[in-house]
Amino acid sequence: MALICYHASHEQFPPSELLKFAVMAEEAGFDGIHSSDHFHPWSERQGQSGFSFAWMGAAMQATSLPFSMVCAPGQRYHPAIVAQAGATLAEMFPGRFNLELGTGEAINEVITRTGWPDKRVRNERLLECAGIIRRLWDGEEVTYSGHVKIQQAKLYTRPLQKPLLLCAAISIETARWAGSWADGLLTTAEHEVEKNHEKINAFRDNGGASKPIYLQYGFSYARNRKRRGRRSFSSMALKHTSPRKTRKPAYCQRF
């Protein structure tokens, strides 16, 4: 079964404008909404960084579609706060919210001034965070000390239906690792179709065979090829301009 979802890009558009886009996406027939999560945009030209968790509540109230968002717990977000935010959304909107966990991007995470760990450490930290979030959603009182620390934490508002915890992975290696613990996979689509199959198979062969997989495609569109190329380039350029000039929807396809 394939689902076509609209990607809400907080690094490109103000949250008020994205809220309108979410309503328009439902009216246009999209099957769901996926949200990015940035503290800094990719470039000055993009120029936005709304707080995704706050926006999610408004967008889910304004529509009836299922939603998901990517999040990197462990550095900028403590996993207990991620668990509380996710539980709150899932309690208010039963069966409509899932969460994709990733190891993060330095452009967002180093604001904590705690350095940028190597990939091995970030993977270990992410797995710890996923375990903590799941235990809190199960109603446990959690005390843990590792890459992240938590003491006597318990969630008192929990949803009847727990969200899925998917993994956001870019590489084949990370997709394979995610198959062993994540409830599903979100990954970016490659231009070479065979590479997409390699990531999908790596995830499925290591425990993800029966789990949902989503591919994110990026598109640049305009009235002609030349203008489309300028828009595609300008969305990542470093000179500041209005994000209205660089609109780029993205889609997820479930396999």
Angle at 116 between CA 84 and CA 181, to 5 degrees: 50
Query: pLDDT tens digit string along 177-192?
Result: 999 999 999 999 988 8
C-alpha–C-alpha distance, residues 52 and 14, integer Å: 11
Active site annotation includes 26: no
pLDDT over 80 at 212, yes or no: yes
- 42 and 234 in contact (C-beta within 8 Å)? no
- Is 227 within 8 Å of 220 (Cβ atoms)? no
Which residue of the set 17, 91, 105, 190 is catalytic? 105
Fold exhibited by the domain 5-254: TIM Barrel (3.20.20)
What pLDDT is recorded for position 125? Answer: 98
> What is the β-pairing status of strands 185-188 and 213-218?
parallel
**Active-site residue identified among 10, 38, 100, 109:** 38
* 105 catalytic residue (yes or no): yes
Give the lowest-confidence range in 33-37, 81-85, 105-109, 220-224: 220-224
User: pLDDT digit string (tens) for 41-61?
Assistant: 888 888 899 999 999 999 999
CA distance linking residue 40 with residue 11, whole number of Å = 7
